Structure 1
Amino acid sequence: MPFVNVKLTAGATAAQKEELIAGITDLLVRVLNKNPASTHVVIEDIAPENWGIRGQTVAALRAAGDPGVSKG
């Protein structure tokens, strides 16, 4: 029974999350021949102020306009 945990900074839409879940499940079925009925995908939204990169929070980097940090 595969269990995939995806952590994202908050901002993805419900439709985007549904597409991720379907795509991850399809990939596991296609590549590893896993049963989709027992494949679990969990998406965790992490607030940008709770995620750090290069010694700073994503919120601070976005506020500073850092082009290396995506908006979502």
Structure 2
Amino acid sequence: MLNKITGITRAARYLRQSMRLMVGVPEYSTYVNHMKITHPDQPVMSYQEFFRERQEARYGGKVSRCC
């Protein structure tokens, strides 16, 4: 029973991550883990800084809105 729940939880996590990546929202936790392992001497951006930086990287700083 526990293995079935673990498998469902893992599948839900992968599905959520895949859906976020499809719409261009990378995982902050993945970024934080990467920074801690690969660049421990560099500061980690806050979630707001990370989100803003990813939006600018994707849209070139040009976010069009209707209003």
TM-score by length of 2: 0.33
- Taking CA–CA contacts closer than 8 Å with sequence separation of 6 or more, which of the two structures ends up with the larger relative contact order? 1
Which structure dedicates a bigger proportion of its chain to helix? Answer: 2
Structure of larger gyration radius: 2
Which structure dedicates a bigger proportion of its chain to strand? Answer: 1
